[in-house]
């Protein structure tokens, strides 16, 4: 049974990794759909605590079990493979069939929001308020204008803390948060420069950013784990709101209104002619009806992909219910 579960965990990690390649889609959403979200947050919380005292007292094997090491390792390996697949497969679909891919994710997230909302046994004023707060926060994030980034170490550190926190929240993409902070290009270029040129400055920036990510996940995973174990219903409600509010960013038919040039970090409203779009990142888009879409709308295909996303969530939810019944 453990071998089967390891395979399933690897597949779930692969799906999370593929989702992270898509700007606007969070791996946390996939974790929620596949029923591993609370377990993942708890495992990250335990790992981030650096349990050296427990390691000395109980040994490596017991500490590995305590942090749910097999789960984290299997999930992490699946995510790494998923990112590799996503870089080639998902980016190809984004370039050639964007409406259909976004239609699939749109259905996936709507189905997930419904699934999570159904886990809340009683909707009181607290849960409804939490839902509305989540919707407003996520929606605001999708429409806010990007700020001008800063290359100062404190802001790089802060960007890492914020981005990694968004990464584990359903409906909020860490890469999109970096775009809004005006730091996406600077961080990506620093990592690339570190790999290609072994630049000492790029190493410093990457190290500062990684430090921010480490501190952010330590603090936020503990806070989120505490909320899930002490205020489950309101937390599920606000996370549902995050997913609903993020739908504005995932509407299948969107025309770009603001671009970010990778080389200079400059924001432009119209892409220059005879220039490769690979040198730019879309920062803001306008939702349109299929008839006004600048690309090929693939209306029937997009609707089928949308329905496919809904069906997948339904089947996963049914599988989770059956697994819970079997274990009970």
d(CA 181, CA 152): 13
Among 168-172, 234-238, 259-263, 304-308, the minimum mean pLDDT is found in: 259-263
| Cβ–Cβ < 8 Å for 164, 216 | yes
d(CA 43, CA 54): 15
Give the residue-averaged pLDDT of 142-158.
Answer: 81
Whether 4 has a pLDDT exceeding 60, the answer reads no
Give the residue-averaged pLDDT of 36-41.
Answer: 88
Whether 326 has a pLDDT exceeding 60, the answer reads no
Q: Cβ neighbours of residue 25 under 8 Å, at least 6 residues apart?
A: 19, 105, 109, 173, 250
Q: Give the mean pLDDT of the chain.
A: 82
Whether 302 has a pLDDT exceeding 70, the answer reads yes
**What pLDDT score does 166 carry?**
76
Tokens at 169, concatenated: 């929240």
Q: Residue ranges per domain, the chain?
A: 2-321
**What pLDDT score does 3 carry?**
47
d(CA 285, CA 37): 30
**What pLDDT score does 324 carry?**
56
DSSP string, 301-323: HHHHHHHHHHHHHHHHHHHHHHH
**What pLDDT score does 1 carry?**
41
Edge-to-edge strands, sheet with 254-261: 267-268, 254-261, 280-287
Whether 190 has a pLDDT exceeding 80, the answer reads yes
Whether 108 has a pLDDT exceeding 90, the answer reads no
Q: What percent of the chain has pLDDT over 70?
A: 84
Supply the pTM of this predicted model: 0.77
How many C-beta neighbours within 10 Å does residue 96 have?
11
Give the residue-averaged pLDDT of 153-170.
Answer: 86
**What pLDDT score does 5 carry?**
53
| Cβ–Cβ < 8 Å for 48, 222 | yes
């Amino acid at each position: 049974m453990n071998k089967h579960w390891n395979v399933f965990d690897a597949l779930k990690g692969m799906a999370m990794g593929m989702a992270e390649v898509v700007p606007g889609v969070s791996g946390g959403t996939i974790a929620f759909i596949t029923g591993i979200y609370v377990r993942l947050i708890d495992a990250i919380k335990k790992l981030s605590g650096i349990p050296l005292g427990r390691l000395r007292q109980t040994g490596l094997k017991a500490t590995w079990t305590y942090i749910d090491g097999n789960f984290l390792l299997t999930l992490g390996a699946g995510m790494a493979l998923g990112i590799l697949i996503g870089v080639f497969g998902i980016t190809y679909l984004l370039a050639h069939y964007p409406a259909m891919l976004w239609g699939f994710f749109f259905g996936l997230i709507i189905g997930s929001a419904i699934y999570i909302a159904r886990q809340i046994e009683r909707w009181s004023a607290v849960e409804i308020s939490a839902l509305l707060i989540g919707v407003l926060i996520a929606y605001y994030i999708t429409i806010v204008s990007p700020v001008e980034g800063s290359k100062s170490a404190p802001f790089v550190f802060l960007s890492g803390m914020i981005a990694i926190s968004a990464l584990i929240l359903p409906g909020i993409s860490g890469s999109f948060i970096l775009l809004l902070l005006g730091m996406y290009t600077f961080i990506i270029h620093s990592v690339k420069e570190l790999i290609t040129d072994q630049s000492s400055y790029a190493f410093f920036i990457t190290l500062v950013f990684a430090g921010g990510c480490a501190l952010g996940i330590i603090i936020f995973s503990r806070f989120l784990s505490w909320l899930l174990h002490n205020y489950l219903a309101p937390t599920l409600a606000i996370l549902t709101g995050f997913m609903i509010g993020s739908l504005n960013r995932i509407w299948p038919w969107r025309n770009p209104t603001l671009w970010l040039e990778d080389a200079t970090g400059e924001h432009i409203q119209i892409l220059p002619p005879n220039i490769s779009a690979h040198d730019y990142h879309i920062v803001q888009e306008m939702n349109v009806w299929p008839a006004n879409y600048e690309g090929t709308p693939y209306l029937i295909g997009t609707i089928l992909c949308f329905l496919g996303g809904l069906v997948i969530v339904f089947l996963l939810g049914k599988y989770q219910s059956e697994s819970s019944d079997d274990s009970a």
